[in-house]
Structure 1
Amino acid sequence: MPLPELRNCQREAFDQYMADRKKTWLAMLTPGAGKTMFALAVAAKLKEMGVTNKVAVFVPSDNLRQQWAAVAAGFGLDLIPVRESADYEDWEFDGFVATYSQMAAGEGAERAHKAISTNRTIVIHDEVHHLGEKRAWGVGTIRASEGAERILMLTGTPWRSDDARIPWCTYDSDTGEVDVDFAYEYGYAVADGICRAVEFHSYDAELRYRDVMTEVTVSLKDSGKGRELGKMFDAVFDPNQPWTPGLLARAHELLMERRRDVHDAGGLVVTDSLETAEAIGKILERISGQPPTIVTSEKDDAVDQLDAFRKDGSRMWLVAIRMVSEGVDVPRLMVGCYLSRWKTPLYFRQFVGRFVRVRPECGPGFDAHVIIPAVSVLMEHAADIEQQLRDFSMALDGNDDDSDEWKHESCPANEAMKDQEATVPAQAGAADPHADPEARDALCEHGDAGSGQATLPFEQTVEVGSAEFYQSDRRGVGVSSAVYLPGEQLCRDSGMPTTWTRHLLSVLESKGVLAQVLGVAVPAAPPEPPKYRMKQMLRDEVKRLVYRLARMQARATGMDTKEYRGKRQRVINAELAKRFEYRAQCSSSTLKTIIAFLTSSIEQEAAADRRRTVCVK
């Protein structure tokens, strides 16, 4: 049967895995890049070659069992999601899919170990960072995997939030970071069109309380990271306060605007408890007129509900209690609300990963929108993600504007600017679209453990203020409310979906009329990243492409050994030095030219490889 075609990044990971031939191998692919497809292509190929005859997959959640089994069928692999103990050794199947929690119990680990060790088995650990060497899941899964022929580990975030080490991984002695065999990060994925860009909207709010006889006002963005922040969220997260309902109203407005372009776009709200999820569900039903889908691992039909939401584009909102943190493929999710107290970069990145999956029907510029509270720790997480993308884009493009992106014919900003270019609308942006207290009165929540500020007596709370738009972050560039809100109003006045606000602002800025059209003072552009960082990224990219081209050439000659690959790398580097100059002496512009040259060479080699494959068949 014809196997599914792999994306370039998946093919690159596949090629490197087959070339390395290591027993344990770790791939870091950013959420949305397609770890599942890559791993199953490896499993199918090893089975075809006779290296293995069974496949065992371990996943962090129940819904992923069915998802892996369904995708595996497309690769000619029949995997059974483990429900009964006999499923581990069911001879009618090519292997099984089990959860890490099933390994925490002694019987599950022993049954899996027997099935794995008595066959030539490739073991795939999905989101391996869930395992800690001395944690229950880790201990059981390590036992189950003993005797495996191959161990393939997958993750989008190769670190843990505690100090436990990830099994089978090696760590850099200087940095303490996990050594990966293959890395494909978010910046590459967006540049390659594999992942969608995310625009973060942060909202602030004020809490007024009485201390002795004095009324005190505190805000989210100034609340630090101590326990008082958690207490503040206890107050503002109260569904009876105006804050949360107002934020959800704003999120629903964004979703409706996005559905003008993408008719089945969906939204996701993540929270921490069933009680809160149900309260959020009632608020969303009042706002949207449609009850949302609420999924939690406590419900027996959670997997079925999630699958139904994935397929039914008429359903607008999904509310989840951590269950949709990772590994779930719902490409139509385009608006998110982070209403969780979890503050770790691991969890935050996995949440953001739910919105980066691209779809053929969505052209350039169809960004996802994620609403977060204006809390320093969350805004830092968002900035880290966006800065990575901005640095990568600037390193390759030499600038930080998005002008090429807005040449796409589907971008309404271009149409709007045909008549707006030299026109200053009267009082443009003067109206505050968030001023309606009935519609915009809320924000998310987040908690943090730590210390540093005195505990605030929130038991004497007077009231929680309405949600206030604070900042929009896209590709590492922040736009304050003073600029964003007038731009959003201009979108409304022009009949454009407000989800195109940042695009419109980019067009106005590129034409030099942003301040004139909006009638506001525009802050200076953020400083570029250090030149040394940009140049190092270019050098790393050249090194990566040289290695990839050498592997492809080695495979073509049938001499795919470490020694021959090294020889081909030296030959390629010598040719580059002759054609251009020694890499250490290359300017940034020359490095970009080398990258273009290598990319073209790789495409030609890939085309030749496809022709050879057809001839063999």
Structure 2
Amino acid sequence: MSAPSRPLRSHQRSLAELVAAMARGEAGGIADILAAVTPGGGKSLLPVIAAARLVAAGAVERVVWVVPRDSLRLQAEEAFADPLWRSALGHALAVRAADNAPDPARGLAGYVTTYQAVAAAPALHLAEITRHRTLLVVDEIHHLPALAEGDPASEAAAWSRALAPLLRHARLRLLLSGTLERADGRRILWLPYRDEPGRAPVPDIAAPGWAVIGYSRAQALAERAVLPVNFGALDGEASWLEGGRADGQARVGPHRLSGPAPGPTTRPALFTALRTGFARDLLHEAFLATRRLRAARRLARGLPAAEPARGLGKLLVVAPDQASAQRYCAMLRGWMPGAQAERDVRLAVSSEPDAAAALAAFRLTPEPAVLVTVAMAYEGLDAPEVAVVAALTHIRSRPWLEQMIARATRVDPQAGPYEDQHALVFHPDDPLFARFRDRIEAEQLTALRRPKAERPAAAREPRPMPDGDEGIVPLESNALGLRYAMLRPGPALALVRPEAVPAPALPPSAVERQLRARVAAMVTAQAVEDEAELRAPAGGRLAHRYNAVLKRILGNKARAAMTAEDLEAALAWLERNRLGDHLHLLDGDARYAWTARRRWAGERRAAGR
């Protein structure tokens, strides 16, 4: 009996036709292929298609696939090993997940590695690229900033510096992304750009030597490659303490999460809600929805309650930080009988030693049915059984949110007919998330009405609203009401987006004040999140110590003396790093001796001494 066929989607067919032409020598001028594929649209098959055609034709000898995190290496191996696709594409290639040991391919058609591994041993991987005619695949290219932009000391900049020589020496390049925007608005490594007066630079899709393949949400929905999304927006109220002095903080609120527009209480209310009673209420709604879905699918298939089975639907919980993730995990387990709780709920955060195993079990086995994480699983997770997402995250960057909701939009072949499936995403009903959803719907309507040639280029994602000048201490919150909204089809192209309405220009001093407020809020947020672990005493002013750490990192330049560019660089650093990891910069300063002692004691406890 022959294996069932799998039809190629339109972008996969386009790539297959392109590489076939390249193999025949009919597209000799093409050296770079950019695939902008909506999250969940099936871009992980594109390297398999390209390698199968190009290796068979002798155009390349090897494929090297670089992914942004270790958890994606196994998925890349699986893409090449999938028996149905091996049969459909007629290939017998295999790649291996490699570390930085010598001979990473070990006689196979290539290997998969990570940005971090390349940055740790750039010479090893450059030697492999130059030794063989190589197809270099860079996954989620938007993580890599252009070399001339961004903080040169950042981890992402180190990745770019290590990968740039590989890009230069590869015979062919296949660059993959679900978005062509970086959260900081900067350019992406290696991509060609065009500059237009008064507008942010946009990728030049007509650059010589480049072929661009786009696959939008609208196309994916039309081809039933992804599922429609049903949003469950939960409103609520929150109260917190605000002020710079431990003995002079004032109670603020209760304030509603929802509102007509983002304001000064938006982010403090959201910060509080995700760490108090509102989070429990939203998590419980998602838990009940998942339980109802699994029960209904069991009933439809005649399965007994305790029998493990694929295709019943799973819950992904995205938390704002690791401490909250641990609390959410404990809540979920408290709503189940003991044996079921241990079987069904897993925690995957970087501090857990078995995080990779928990992630793999969630993807590949019928149980566990619930995974709680912070960021390990939001991008690139290939787990079609995820049907419900609890979006308990404070991040409101559009690319990040698009990646998160895409975890539930993959079609599950084990879950029955396509028309019986949809993604369900529970989220706080704050105006920032509402603006994200409204913008998507506005773009979709615009894209359907306007001819392709008239669509303007992508605009930069607006920066988040500031939280305020002073830190906050969360007190309490509660949920008020739940409403649902079905997301309509997406834009006609993944590469371009309707132009955002420009915000009124602010004078330079006002811009600097807003940026300083955002820096203060981010420092305070990290201090509040880390305070429990550090066990700072009342009035310990951990935020004060963190401000001192940040000042040292920024060259001892006072925040009041910083330019707008300096403040933006500080924000970019805070988005990628934890101040608690740099407390050693305070060593030797008597004013912060308490911090040094606590850090030393914490390291001893962690080491089991």
Trace 1:211-610 onto structure 2 (pairs within 5 A): 216-222=253-259, 225=262, 228-238=265-275, 241-263=276-298, 264-289=312-337, 290-291=341-342, 292-360=345-413, 361-388=416-443, 449-451=464-466, 459=473, 463-464=476-477, 466-476=478-488
Query: Structure 1: where are the runs of 5+ without partners?
Result: 397-447, 478-528, 541-617
Asked whether the 8 Å contact 1:13–1:38 carries over to 2, the reply is yes
Secondary structure of the structure 1 residue equivalent to 2:194: coil
Q: Which residue of 1 aligns with 2:8?
A: 7
1:168 aligns with 2:199: no
Distance 1:393 1:163 in 2: 26
How far residue 476 of structure 1 moved from its aligned partner, in angstroms, is 4.4
Q: Are the equivalent residues in 1 in contact too, given 2:239–2:251 (CA < 8 A)?
A: no
Structure-2 residue corresponding to 1:188: 219
The Cα of 1:168 is off from its aligned counterpart by 2.1
| Counterpart code for 1:103 | V
- AA matched with 2:99: R
- Give the whole-Å Cα distance in 2 for the aligned partners of 1:45 and 1:214: 65
Corresponding residue for 1:56? Answer: 64
Secondary structure of the 1:244 match is helix
Matched, 1:68 2:76: yes
Structure-2 separation of matches of 1:210 and 1:64: 41
Quick check: 2:229–2:422 contact (8 Å CA) kept in 1? yes
C-alpha contact (below 8 Å) 2:36/2:176 kept by paired residues: yes
Judge conservation of contact 1:113–1:146 (CA < 8 Å) in 2.
no
Q: Distance in 1 between matches of 2:468 and 2:252?
A: 16
Equivalent pair of 2:235/2:480 in contact (CA under 8 Å): yes
Over the residues paired in the alignment, what is the CA RMSD in angstroms? Answer: 3.2
CA distance in 1, matches of 2:106, 2:116: 24
The alignment covers a number of residue pairs equal to: 423
Distance 1:299 1:98 in 2: 22
CA shift, 1:5, in A, is 4.3
Which of the pair is proportionally richer in helix?
1
Specify the alignment match of 2:236 in structure 1: 205
TM-score (norm 2): 0.63
State the match for 2:549 in structure 1.
none
Q: Which amino acid aligns with 1:101?
A: Q
For 1:346, the aligned partner's letter is P
Matched residue of 1:202: which SS?
Answer: strand
Contact 1:54 1:120 in 2 (8 A): yes
Shift of 1:59: 0.3
Indicate if the aligned counterparts of 1:133 and 1:139 stay in contact, CA closer than 8 A.
no
1:23 aligns with: 31
Deviations 1:14-44 (A, max 9, x none): 2245445511110111112211112211111
1:60-111 residue CA offsets vs partner (Å, 9 max, x unmatched): 01011111112213442221212232143x4412111110111222xx2111
Helix, strand or coil at the partner of 2:291 = helix
Q: Is the 8 A contact 2:316 2:389 kept in 1?
A: yes
Q: Please report how far the alpha carbon of residue 190 of structure 1 lies from its aligned counterpart in structure 2 after TM superposition.
A: 0.8
| Distance verdict in 2 for CA 1:229–1:17, change over 3 Å | farther
In structure 2, the partner of 1:93 is 108
Structure 2 unaligned runs (5+)?
22-26, 148-156, 206-211, 243-248, 299-311, 452-462, 497-609
Mapped to 2, the partners of 1:259 and 1:66 lie a distance apart of: 27
Match for 1:137 among 154, 159, 169?
Answer: 159
What secondary structure does 1:467 align onto?
strand
Letter in 1 for 2:109: D
SS in 2 for 1:364: helix
CA distance in 1, matches of 2:291, 2:234: 19
| Mapped partners of 2:251, 2:333: distance in 1 | 39
1:128 equivalent among 137, 141, 156: 141
Distance change >3 Å, CA 302–CA 6, structure 1 → 2: farther
Could you say if the C-alpha distance between residues 129 and 17 of structure 1 is closer, same or farther in structure 2, counting changes exceeding 3 Å? farther
Is this contact kept in 2: 1:186–1:389, CA < 8 A?
no
For residue 194 of structure 1, what is the amino acid of its counterpart? A
Q: Report the CA distance shift for 1:223/1:104 in structure 2 as closer, same or farther (over 3 A).
A: farther
Give the Å deviation of 1:284.
0.8
| Counterpart Cα distance in 2 of 1:129 and 1:48 | 30
What amino acid maps onto 1:359 in structure 2? D
Query: Which residue of 100, 111, 115 maps to 2:124?
Result: 111
Query: Structure 1 residues 52 and 210 mapped into 2: Cα distance closer, same or farther (>3 Å)?
Result: closer
The amino acid that maps onto 2:292 is E
Letter in 1 for 2:273: V
Asked if residue 32 in structure 1 is aligned to residue 40 in structure 2, the reply is: yes
Check 1:171–1:3 CA distance in 2 against 1; reply closer, same or farther (3 A cut).
farther
1:201–1:469 contact (8 Å) kept in structure 2: no
Q: Pick closer, same or farther for the CA change 1:2–1:85 going to 2, 3 Å.
A: farther
Alpha-carbon separation, structure 1, partners of 2:118 and 2:50 = 24
| TM value normalised by structure 1 | 0.63
CA distance in 1 between counterparts of 2:137 and 2:250 reads 62
Q: Using the TM superposition, name which of 203-212 and 269-278 deviates more.
A: 203-212
Deviations 1:486-529 (A, max 9, x none): xxxxxxxxxxxxxxxxxxxxxxxxxxxxxxxxxxxxxxxxxxx9
Identity %: 23
- Is residue 224–residue 376 contact of structure 1 (8 Å, CA) maintained in 2? yes
Deviation of residue 214 (structure 1)? 9.2
Partners of 1:102 and 1:375 lie apart in 2 by: 39
Give the counterpart letter for 1:61 in structure 2: R
Residue matched to 1:550: none
Structure 1 distance, partners of 2:3, 2:137, is 23
Contact 1:383–1:473 at 8 Å: present in 2 too? no
Partner SS for 2:102: helix
C-alpha separation in 2, matches of 1:332 and 1:210: 41
Contact 1:194 1:357 (C-alpha < 8 Å) held by counterparts: yes
SS in 2 for 1:167: coil
3-state secondary structure, aligned to 1:189? helix
Shift, 1:194, TM fit = 0.7
The Cα of 1:359 is off from its aligned counterpart by 2.3
Residues 13, 471 of structure 1: alpha-carbon distance in 2 compared, 3 angstrom cutoff: farther
Displacement of 1:148 in angstroms is 0.7
Equivalent AA in structure 2 for residue 287 of structure 1: W
Using a 3 Å threshold, how does the CA distance of structure 1 residues 261 and 383 change in structure 2: closer, same or farther?
farther
Give the aligned residue type for 1:178. Answer: P
Take 2:18 and 2:469, find their aligned partners in 1: how far apart are those partners? 53
Which structure has the greater CA radius of gyration?
A: 1
Q: Which amino acid letter does the alignment assign opposite residue 138 of structure 2?
A: H
Give the 3 Å change call, closer, same or farther, for CA 119–222 of structure 1 in structure 2. Answer: same
Instruction: Report the residue type matching 1:255 in the other structure.
Output: T
Q: 8 Å contact 2:32–2:172 — kept in the other structure?
A: yes
C-alpha contact (below 8 Å) 2:142/2:181 kept by paired residues: yes
2:177 pairs with one of 140, 143, 155:
155
Deviation at 1:287, TM superposition (A): 2.0
Q: Counterparts of 2:4 and 2:108 in 1: how far apart (Å)? A: 19
Measured after TM superposition, the shift of residue 261 of structure 1 is 4.0
